[in-house]
Amino acid sequence: MGRFLLSRLVDGIVAIWGVVTIVFVVSRLLGDPAILLLPVGATEEQLQQLRAGLGLDQPIWEQYLTFLGGVVRGDFGNSFQFMRPALSVVLERMPATMALAESALLVGVVLGAVAGSMAALFRGTIVEGVVMLLALLGQATPVFWLGLLLILLFAVDLGLLPTGGYEGPASLILPALTLGTFTTASIARLLRSGMLDVMKDDHVRTARAKGLLPGTVFLWHVARNSLIPVVTMVGILAGELLGGSVVTETVFSWPGVGRLIVQAMEAKDFPVVQAGVMVIATIFVVINLFVDLLYGLLDPRIRARR
């Protein structure tokens, strides 16, 4: 187990290093940041000065090492917009993003688990049909459109909830629902098919042969065994969730990292973009590390193989 943990940790670090490299390469594709930074009509001398200041006159690999060193120290340079370290600008927005992503995940897991279980328990009935239809629609509905529809319905027409912003729990409801829908739908579908498979397994027949109550059979011998693929799915969905948060935050004017990145892009504030992308990629890697650990907890066979 210890060795396994270590090797997953190394994998994670390599992945993050890869992301750093991608970010560096992309940032060099931008062309000369010095030209972008200075007002139009700056002199050649001013340009040279700025390039030297940014280290752009160094060979490319040296720039890369400098960049890498900066990332390790958490130094992405100063935000062009805010004139403060980019990382701290990003980290200030983290609580909002985490609140949104966590609520969305909660919505997704709880609703998805309930819906998927219902569909499996009531297979062949209208319940299964309705759940599966909704799940198909949920997977096909793009987040930003869903967000707009919910605003239209609950904020504009019914006036029940705010259209956006970040004031109190009420303003969290619509964004969380919006972002959580895809997760809900995916988990519901996966859990249903997983449970239907498990229900056919021999060990469920054994459980019934023991005379166990239906609730016990379902919880301990069906649901418990269907969790593993769901956990994998949560790891994958975390990516969709973090990516989706960019759009959702924009739709709902939610002051999180996603919206910050989009705004920074429009303002060509690259240090903030880089810091934001790095932070989100790191969260994603950490989540998947947890998912791997969770596997071992859920499945003793996997634990043994490690």
Partner 1 sequence: MALLAIEDLSVGFAREGRFARVIPGLTYGVEAGETLGIVGESGSGKSVHALALLGLLPQPPGRILGGRAVFDGHDLLAMSEARLRDLRGGRIGMIFQDPMTALNPVLTIGRQIAEPLMRHKAMSMRQALDRAADLLALVGIRDGARRLSQYPHEFSGGMRQRVMIAIAISCEPALLIADEPTTALDVTVQGQILDLMAELRDRLRMTMVWITHDMGVVAGIADTIQVMYAGRIMERGPVDAVFANPRSAYTYGLLQSLPHGSRPPGGRLMQIPGCPPDMFAPPPGDPFAPRNPFATPRCHVEAPPLRPVPDSVPGHMVAAWYDLPRLLA
Partner 2 sequence: MREVWRALTRRSGWLGLLGATLLVVLVLLAIFGPWLDLPDPTRTNLRARMVAPTLSWFSLGAHPLGTDQLGRDILSRIIAGSRVTLMVAGAAVLLGGVLGTLLGLISGYFGGWVDRILMRLVDIQLALPLMLLALMVVAALGPSLRNLVGVLALVSWVRYARIVRGQVLAVREREFVQSARAIGASHPRIILRHILPNVLTPALVVATLELARVIVLEAGLSFLGLGIQPPDPSWGRMLADGRTYISSAWWIITFPGLALMLTVLAVNLLGDWLRDFFDPRLAVR
Q: What residue ranges bind partner 1 (CB under 8 A)?
A: 200-203, 205-213, 216, 220-221, 224-225, 298-301, 304
Closer residue to partner 2 in complex, CB, 25/72: 25
Residue pair 204/217 in contact (Cβ under 8 Å)? The answer is yes
| Minimum gap (Å) between residue 236 Cβ and partner 2 | 7
> Quick one: tokens of 288?
């998947």
| Minimum gap (Å) between residue 244 Cβ and partner 2 | 7
Residue at 111: amino acid letter: L
Distance CA 265, CA 263 (A): 5
Under the rule (CB under 8 A), what is the footprint of partner 2? Answer: 11, 14-16, 18-19, 22-23, 26-27, 29-30, 136-137, 139-145, 148-149, 151-152, 156, 186, 193, 232-233, 236, 239-240, 242-244, 246-247, 250-251, 261-262, 265-266, 273, 277, 280-281, 284-285, 288
Closer residue to partner 2 in complex, CB, 81/139: 139
| Minimum gap (Å) between residue 213 Cβ and partner 2 | 31
Residue pair 260/250 in contact (Cβ under 8 Å)? The answer is no
Distance CA 149, CA 97 (A): 21
Closer residue to partner 2 in complex, CB, 9/265: 265
Cα 297–237–302 angle (5° rounding)? 25
> Quick one: tokens of 63?
């720039």
Distance CA 231, CA 295 (A): 7
Closer residue to partner 1 in complex, CB, 107/119: 119
Strand locations in the chain (E): none
Q: How far is CA 60 from CA 35, 49, 63, 143, 269, in A?
A: 18, 18, 5, 39, 21
| Minimum gap (Å) between residue 231 Cβ and partner 2 | 13
Helices and strands (DSSP H and E) totals, the chain = 14, 0
Closer residue to partner 2 in complex, CB, 77/239: 239
Residue 149 interaction partner, one of partner 1, partner 2, none, beta carbon < 5-8 Å per kind: partner 2
Residue 81 interaction partner, one of partner 2, partner 1, none, beta carbon < 5-8 Å per kind: none
Residue 208 interaction partner, one of partner 1, partner 2, none, beta carbon < 5-8 Å per kind: partner 1
Residue pair 251/177 in contact (Cβ under 8 Å)? The answer is no
> Quick one: tokens of 32?
């000369």
Distance CA 165, CA 255 (A): 7
Residue 152 interaction partner, one of partner 2, partner 1, none, beta carbon < 5-8 Å per kind: partner 2
Instruction: Supply the Cα-derived Rg of the chain in whole angstroms.
Output: 24
Residue 5 interaction partner, one of partner 2, partner 1, none, beta carbon < 5-8 Å per kind: none
| Minimum gap (Å) between residue 212 Cβ and partner 2 | 30
| Minimum gap (Å) between residue 255 Cβ and partner 2 | 17
| Minimum gap (Å) between residue 127 Cβ and partner 1 | 18
Closest by CA to 86, choosing from 95, 96, 76, is 76
Closer residue to partner 1 in complex, CB, 127/173: 127
Closer residue to partner 2 in complex, CB, 45/157: 157
Distance CA 57, CA 180 (A): 47
Distance CA 178, CA 175 (A): 5
